[in-house]
Structures are given as C-alpha cells and as structure tokens.
Amino acid sequence: MPILSYREAIRTTLIEEMDRDPTVILLGEEIGLYQGTFRMTADLLERYGPRRVIDTPTSEIGFVGAAIGMAMLGLRPVVEMMTWNFSLVAFDQIVNNAAKIRYFSGGQVDIPLIIRGPNGAGVQLSAQHSQSFEALYAHIPGLHVVAPATPAEAKGLLRTAIRGSDPVIFLEHAALYGSKGEVPDGEFAVPFGAADVVRSGRDVTIVAYSRMLGTALEAAAHLAGEGIEAEVINLRTLRPLDRSTIVESVGRTHRAVVVQEQWRPFGAAAEIVATITEGAFDALDAPIERVTGADVPMPYARNLELMALSNAGDIMRAVARTLYREIPTPNGRSSGGQSDA
C-alpha cells in the first residue's frame, strides 16, 4: 500500500470522488486561487474549474446555507471550513437546516453535504482557533460526526461521507495533517459506526479518537513494558457511536479509561462513560477514568499549550488508578490535562 500523509489522503480522495461523480463540488474560503489554508485543495481549481471549486465570500452562514440548497437540488457539496472554530458563525444553518430538512420533509429530501476542516489544538493557534467541537455537533440528531485518526481512515471515512445521503461533520485534526501511514488503493471505504480495536489487551480498555489515538497507543506501549496489556479502541465516528464494541471490550478487561482532547465538562468522554455504565456496570472492577484537556481557553505559548493537553503519562496514571497500583511514567511529567483523581 502507498504511504500517504493525512493531508494527501484527503486530497486524493476528493480528486477520486470528483473524477467519479460530477455532482461533487467544493466550496470554501480561499480554496481555489489560494489552494486552501492547509493546501488541501492544491491545483484543484485548475483541474476542475470555478464551477466545481468555488471560492466563497468570508461568510460561513452564507456559503453553508448555499451548500444546503445545492444538496437539496441534487449536488454533493463538500464545504471546507478554514477552521471548525469558524463553524460557529454557521451554527444555525447546520443545526436548524442541514440536520433537520429530511425530518421536515418527511424523508423526501436528502442532504448529501459534507462540512470538513481542521478541528482541535496543538499547533499554537491560540484560544479562538484551537477548540474541539465534536461534542457540540454529536449532540445534534440528523448529523453524522466523523473524526479520523489516520491517513487510511481519512480516506475511507471521507469516501463514505461523500457517497452518503446525510450531512456529515468531518473533523480533521490540524496536528495530524503531516502524519503518514499506509493507505489502501481503490474503492477503500470505512463504514460509519464501526470502531476499530487497534490493540488487543486483557487488563484495561482505553477508548480514544482523532489525535488522542496516537497518545493512547503511546501510553499502551509504555504500559506493556510494565506488564500491563491495554486494549485500545479507536472510535472513528462519534455519531453514530459504536457502543457495542466499547461495552464488549470492557466486559473482557473490567476496567476503562476514556480519552478526549476537548474540555472536560459535558464532553464526548462523558457520553462514553455513560455508555459503559449502562452496558457494562456489573463487569467493572474499578471506577471509569476520564483523561481530558484542561478546562481553560487554549494558551498560545507552546509550553502552556502542552500543559493544557493530555499526554501519555496522564493516560498511564489513569490506568494505574484503575489497577490500584503505581506505574512509572515518561519523565514523571504530568500535563495540565485533567483526569479523575
């Protein structure tokens, strides 16, 4: 399989789907002449022309609304948010139109709309550009919420999104764009609602998604050196959420640590903890642990940004608490991320 970056996997999938289906069009700020802030649409204006690669005004509520109308009329628009932080400007269109039109129409009108762009922190973009909004959108019925962690997932999930009939919130992580991995050729697709057990283990289940998957795998590797075998689940999608895979894993390991990058209160981890409590409570041998980002606006200074984000040591300490033991952690360092104490 070819080795592609996360960025290349998304861009090549856009090209493949635009070549296959002339109804797939791109919209967004500076995606044409400027080729996108993260170069996701490099050379696509030249390849497809201005009727399929549309530079929009700086008005998220305007171009998301236009894309919803295009989807209602049979096109398959892929909207690029320069950053998901700017999606708040279009929140009314996303929540009250994109998510509800099928319901309002009695199932007569599909909305094959994808809204994609960078989500999350870790690249020194400060408080207004470093937020994680997965819980915000996963709360809304009528939306799919996708958070790929690897280049292969980015390709497979994007293909599924483009070929579907529903509005999809496609949350790429800005800090993953340069990461590389094997990506299958051809008609590779990843179904929504199917989590991936990326590492098997018997002692504890670690649930993660997006950029935190890499952090969870790093922690699991260190834990293995201490004789602790952690099972790591990559959710891939948050809505739909693969609850059965989570519950089955905890039923085997009897312990759980849930990891998210976003702020702690009312986050995705809380919903996952509730899922475990409802489906595997009798199997638990210890309280469930959450590892999250610090409950503060993201600092710009790199040293402070790192303190606000969880690291492998935080996950290892959470695992140690579920096992009622102490475990040496890398450099003995704790970030400012939060975990249950």
Q: State how far the Cα of 173 lies from the Cα of 337, in Å rounded to an integer.
A: 18
User: Does 129 participate in catalysis according to the annotation?
Assistant: yes
- In contact, 63 and 28? CB cutoff 8 Å: yes
Between CA 198 and CA 200 the distance in angstroms is 7
| 176/19 Cα distance (integer angstroms) | 26
Catalytic choice (29, 80, 129, 144): 129
- Is 326 labeled as catalytic in the residue annotation? no
Distance CA 135, CA 138 (A): 5
Among the listed residues 60, 153, 172, 305, the single catalytic one is 60
Find where tokens 């590492």 sit: 199
CA geometry: angle 133, 182, 135, nearest 5 deg: 10
**Which residues lie closer than 8 Å to 250 by C-beta, 6 or more apart?**
205, 256, 276, 279, 280, 283, 284
240 cis-preceded (ω within 30 degrees of 0):
yes
Task: Write out the catalytic residue numbers.
Answer: 60, 129
